[in-house]
Structure 1
Amino acid sequence: MTTQFSVADIELELARYPKDQESNLQAWDAADEHLIKHLKETEQVSVTTAILNDNFGALTTCLRSMDPAWPLMVETDAKTSQLGIQQNLATNKLPSEAIEWLNSRDDLPSKIELVLMKLPKNLTYFAHQLNRLSQVLPVNTQVLISAKAKSINKSVLELISKHLGSASASLTWKKTRVITCVSDGKVRSLPNEVQWSVPKLNLEIRNLSNVFAANKLDIGAEIMLENMPKGNFKSIIDLGCGNGILGLHAKQLFPEAYIHFVDDSEMAIESAKQNWQLNKLDTDGLVGQQATFGWDDCLTHLDDGVRPDLILCNPPFHQGEAITDHIAWQMFLQSWRSLKNGGILHVVGNRHLAYHVKLQRIFKNCTTVASNGKFVILQAQKISKKAEPFETHTTEAEMVASEPHPQSSLYGAKK
């Protein structure tokens, strides 16, 4: 994996967060390089700058290397992005003081003089960000947006013009382009949350703009909901919770359980919290005392006192536009470490991802609960013995290095 970033006389060492992940994915792309090259060529001076969607800190670290006192506001919906930016600033001995950290729902300050953005994959979320900017940017404020050339088309430019101001794209460089937008000073309203019903579960679901499955039940969650585990569970984690529907239904099935919702997306965590309140799932008058909502990198910062007896998990197999299984590895390994002895990890995934191999490697057991032509439900139980090889020192990288070749025998017959 390449960690040496070099463009326009800027030399940095950049890595995705966490550093010990085994994804072979670098922490920047050509769109980052193009935007920094543009800033250098136009001799951009240090002004109060908002940076949005800086995946792992390439933009933030570059600006701080150009001027350690460059006034910055950094907005991200992903906790791993925020942690990655902080990690890369520290690696390159660049100051992180005085950076204003924002999530995608915080009020934006009105003092912004320049905006740098990476075009997100989710254009609904992109429109939401543009609307937010329109509420604070003075007329004629420059907004620079970089992306792969294939992602920039007439409809994207029209979207920007509709929600913020006139936009034009640069010539292509390394298969990327930089869009220059000039804010028109017109204030746009933020869109309302999408809300939809799941009648068979008697649940109402509300989604913010950057949450997966925005207006309907996704098919992976649907088969999971139809095949929930049996037991008397008292502490449950919905890991990678999205809008929280698995954890919500778990509370319906196990009313005495305490539910922990965890996701890398702050908007997902807020959606899960709103859905908990919307569906009035607190019991015995204990309002707000039967669930927690954690914006985190998987279970990295889970309280040491939390020892769940059930973890529900629908792992992502991509990070941004990159297809990767390192997040699933991390989720499974951290689940093994967090579960109480005898606790269960209940997982849904596409059949071709071969999650059973990983679970068998970590838990030494794996059972197929259900399967169809596309998805499989797998269950692994933590059966701890005296020697616990993964409890403290085994890293995800070491696990991946020793992964056996995937087999399909555990999937069972198609239904």
Structure 2
Amino acid sequence: MLTAASQVLLRSEELLEQGKWLLVNPTDGQVFSELANPDVHGFHQFFDIYEQSVAVTKGQGRDSQHQFAAAYEADASFDGAVLYLPKAKAHGQMLLANIAPCLKPGATLLVVGENKGGIKSAAKLLTPYSDNVNKVDSARHCAMFAAVIDKPVAPFDITKWQDVSEYQVSDITFKVCSLPGVFSHGDLDTGTQLLLDNIDRVVSGRILDFACGAGIIGCFAGLKNAQAQVVMSDVSALAIYCSQKSAELNGVKAQVIPSNGLRALTGKFAQVFTNPPFHTGIKTDYSVTESFMQQLKNHLQDRGSLILVANKFLRYADELEKQFKSVQFLKETSKFSVYCCRR
């Protein structure tokens, strides 16, 4: 289904009729089937939309035109690009810094997004790259801006956007690499710290950090028990990149897997830890966590356990009790609840 942002883009489809174009983090895969130009490529940082987009274009022999990565490999050959504006301003700035070197001089750069998502700031975001920025459309609670690349562009180096911070929880000190667009960038959020404070034991078997973000939980668990077989998964390419870097910084051996929910994960786990998401972009979305809770028992070993932290206003207890034989509160504060669930 086309999102509102894609609908607005298609209202100006004539802008994309000629040349080689790149769609950056499109919010749906269907837009690729709606565009008549066969030379439209996709740069995806979200695995679910990447999979959708590949499926849409595979029948047309164009599945190789999609790339799932934290950063797009520099290829200064695009005549234009469309950035779907992300939630975090710094994430948008990083994406523009990444994409601008991939465009020919004089190329067109479009930015589209929802009014509630900060699209009104797009003109300011584009000024480092262009003196010619215009609002070209406004509809469906969205807007789209266009710029012509007419300023010098510096090569992109993702490491310049990285933050590496050191934290101590209990008696364990660890380092975390994060990037704009990753949950709790540059910070150890209160919920995750509460979860870490309540991990008494990490088993020596296979463990999973689900929706791993920057890899905080997985690295902590790997340091707490070096015999643990750490697996981390996330839908975000930025999270995958950061988790890999965090594991390297801490000397933790970990398998880091891009996955839409649990779909790409095989085998079973002795322990699962998570501070699961409840937003998709700017919208509240419980579906990822609800699906995770419903499917997880098929991925847990006998007597396997789940330790989950969530905002207290998220009433997950009822769903957890439907899915698990034993559900107990490990810790409650005024803002968070930590659950321990067993098969």
TM-score with structure 2 setting the length? 0.91
- Given candidates 227, 243, 250, the residue that maps to 1:272 is 243
Secondary structure of 1:157 counterpart = helix
Q: Which residue of 2 aligns with 1:177?
A: 143
CA contact (8 A) 1:130 1:164 kept: no
Look up the equivalent residue of 1:75 and give its one-letter code: F
Q: Which residue of 2 aligns with 1:108?
A: 74
Counterpart CA distance in 1 for 2:70 and 2:149 is 19
Structure 2 residue corresponding to 1:157, chosen from 115, 123, 130: 123
Alpha-carbon distance, 1:164 to partner? 5.8
Q: CA deviation at 1:131?
A: 0.7
Instruction: Give, in whole Å, the separation in 2 of the partners of 1:265 and 1:337.
Output: 23
Deviations 1:1-41 (A, max 9, x none): xxxxxxxxxxxxx3xxxxxxxxxxxxx3322111101124x
SS in 2 for 1:199: strand
Identity of aligned residues (%): 19
2:54 is aligned, of 86, 91, 100, to: 86
Aligned match of 2:12 in 38, 55, 64? 38
1:370 aligns to what? 331
**How many pairs align?**
337
Match of 1:292 among 245, 248, 255: 255
Amino acid aligned to 1:295: P
Q: Are 1:47 and 2:19 counterparts?
A: yes
In structure 2, relative to structure 1, the CA distance for the partners of 1:111 and 1:102 (3 Å cut) is: farther
1: CA distance, partners of 2:103 / 2:131: 11
Q: Would you say 1:128 and 2:94 are equivalent positions?
A: yes
Measure, in 2, the Cα distance between the counterparts of 1:302 and 1:335.
11
1:94 CA displacement: 5.1
CA offsets 1:272-315 (integer angstroms, 9 cap, x no match): 1111111223xxxxxxxx42010111221212xx3210000111
Deviation at 1:108, TM superposition (A): 3.2
Aligned counterpart, 1:348: 309
Q: Taking structure 1 as reference, are residues 313 and 164 closer, same or farther at Cα in structure 2, changes over 3 Å only?
A: farther
> 2:174 matched to 1:203?
yes
Structure 1 pair 292–132 and aligned structure 2 pair: CA distance change class (3 A): same
Residue 149 of structure 1 aligns to which amino acid in structure 2?
N
Task: Please say which structure displays the higher CA radius of gyration.
Answer: 1
The question of whether the paired residues in 2 share the 8 Å contact of 1:146 and 1:178 is answered with yes
- 1:95 is displaced (CA, Å) by 4.8
CA distance in 1, matches of 2:315, 2:130: 44
Q: Which residue of 1 aligns with 2:293?
A: 332
| Contact 1:237–1:311 (CA under 8 A) maintained in structure 2 | yes
The amino acid across from 2:254 in the alignment is: A
Residue identity opposite 2:264 in structure 1? H
**TM-score normalised to the size of structure 1?**
0.76
Taking structure 1 as reference, are residues 369 and 99 closer, same or farther at Cα in structure 2, changes over 3 Å only? same
Deviation at 1:163, TM superposition (A): 4.8
Counterparts of 1:317 and 1:238 in 2: how far apart (Å)?
A: 16
2:248 aligned counterpart, secondary structure: helix
Contact (CA 8 Å) 2:80, 2:103: kept in 1 or not? no
- 1:184 Cα offset (Å): 2.0
Q: 1:111 and 1:328 mapped to 2: Cα distance? A: 40
Query: Counterpart in 2 of 1:358?
Result: 319
Structure 2 residue runs of 5 or longer lacking an equivalent are none
Secondary structure at the residue paired with 1:140? strand
In the alignment, the residues of structure 1 paired with residue 56 and residue 77 of structure 2 have an alpha-carbon distance, to the nearest angstrom, of 26
Describe the SS at the equivalent of 2:326.
coil
Runs of at least 5 residues in structure 1 that lack an aligned partner in the other structure: 1-13, 15-27, 282-289, 383-415
The CA distance in 2 between the partners of 1:231 and 1:195, in whole Å, is 25
RMSD: 2.0
| Other structure's SS at 2:203 match | coil
Partner of 1:394: none
1:172 positional shift: 2.6
CA distance in 1 between counterparts of 2:191 and 2:34 reads 39
